[in-house]
């Protein structure tokens, strides 16, 4: 993400609601990133493991971060980075996931 112009603020940010894998900023936007990795298809593709319950936990943790951080951001979004490493390595970055 660094080579795409993102500044990583925190990794593995934990709250009572859950954990956010990466918190980054780019311009005036803060991005909360969930990273999923799969080496085989036994449990489906990495993208398929993100459900509405998981997204709600990420949102709650993100709101907690925003309330406690000292910087005011104009925008925030939730992204998913899905890494599937079977057959061949594929990395998909889904931006601004709707809850």
Per residue in 48-92, pLDDT (tens digit) is 999 999 999 999 999 999 999 988 888 999 999 999 999 899 999
Q: Examine residue 43 and state whether it is found in any structural domain, yes or no.
A: yes
CA dist., res. 39 & res. 82, Å (int): 11
Tally of domains in the chain: 1
**Which domain does 85 fall in, by range?**
2-94
pLDDT of residue 98 exceeding 70: yes
pLDDT of residue 26 exceeding 80: yes
pTM higher than 0.75: yes
Q: Examine residue 99 and state whether it is found in any structural domain, yes or no.
A: no
For every residue of 2-55, DSSP letters joined together read GGGT-EEEEEEEE-SS-EEEEEEEETTEEEEEEEEEESSSTT--GGGG--HHHH
CATH number of the domain enclosing 51: 3.40.1350.10
Q: Examine residue 11 and state whether it is found in any structural domain, yes or no.
A: yes
pLDDT level of residue 14 (50, 70, 90 thresholds): very high
């Amino acid at each position: 993400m660094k080579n795409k112009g993102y500044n990583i603020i925190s990794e593995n940010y934990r709250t009572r609601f859950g954990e956010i894998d990466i918190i980054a900023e780019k311009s005036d936007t803060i991005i909360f990133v969930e990273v999923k990795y799969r080496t085989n298809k036994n449990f489906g593709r990495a993208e398929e493991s993100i459900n509405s319950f998981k997204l709600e936990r990420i949102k709650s943790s993100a709101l907690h971060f925003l309330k406690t951080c000292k910087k005011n951001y104009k925008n925030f979004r939730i992204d998913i980075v899905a890494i599937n490493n079977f057959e061949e390595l594929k990395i998909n970055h889904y931006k601004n996931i709707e809850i």
